[in-house]
Amino acid sequence: MKNKMNETEILDVAWKLLATEGLDNFSMRKLSQLLNIKAPSLYWYVKSKEQIFDKLASQVIQEGLKEVKKADQWQQQLIFYGEILFQKLRKYPYSAHLLLRTTPNNPELLKLNNELLKVIDHQPLTDGQKFTSINTLMNYIISFEIDYLAQKENQVNVTPESEKQSLADYASDEPIARIMQSDVLDTLGSKEAFEWGLMIFVEGLGELIKGKE
């Protein structure tokens, strides 16, 4: 039995447990088993499952802030933030869900929000508009990954018969019928799809800012 444990080891094993069990089936008992320690001993290092989740979310944000590239233009800087967070959420299982449930006063989340606000702080927007802008950006990044995971889970329930039945009320030349019967749906959740949505947000924000200048 191990007598000493460090936070890095606990978090590494916690990610592995999340990958196999998901959020709903994650437990301190299962984590302690993987760490080869007794469950009560684990509480010497972390107080609860929620604290572990908070630390995992903080780790994702820390890595993103450390690795994000720098740009001269605010539009490109927002894109760089979006791209690095996309990479981190795709790397760590259920990390998007963890960020979604992270409290607003999480120190690392505050740092991330502050850095995003600094990117557009010189723009002719009210503080409320600035905060809404970065909050909308974060919601897009997080929801994109959550939707991607949900699509993967739901795909097993889609059969050619059920798909054909769902399109029975649409003519073959209707846009939704054309798309559903093509390979477009296979690109949902892809890096290219994410970047297109990110560009829509950044360009749209840019147009709104132009209207205020």
Query: Tens of pLDDT along 79-118?
Result: 999 999 999 999 999 999 999 999 989 999 999 999 999 9
Cα torsion at 153, 157, 158, 160 (round to 10°)?
Answer: 150
pTM as predicted: 0.89
Asked if residue 1 has pLDDT above 50, the reply is no
Cα torsion at 39, 59, 151, 135 (round to 10°)?
Answer: 130
Are 82 and 44 a contacting pair, CB within 8 Å? Answer: no
pLDDT tens figures, 137-164: 999 999 999 999 998 877 666 666 766 6
Domains of the chain: 68-210 (1.10.357.10)
What is the average pLDDT across 122-147? 97
Write out the two tokens for 125. Answer: 């927007």
| DSSP notation for 45-75 | T-S-HHHHHHHHHHHHHHHHHHHPPP-SSHH
Asked if residue 133 has pLDDT above 70, the reply is yes
Q: Which DSSP category does 44 fall into?
A: T
Sign of CA dihedral 115, 118, 103, 105: positive
Minimal CA–CA distance to 32: which of 56, 55, 49?
49
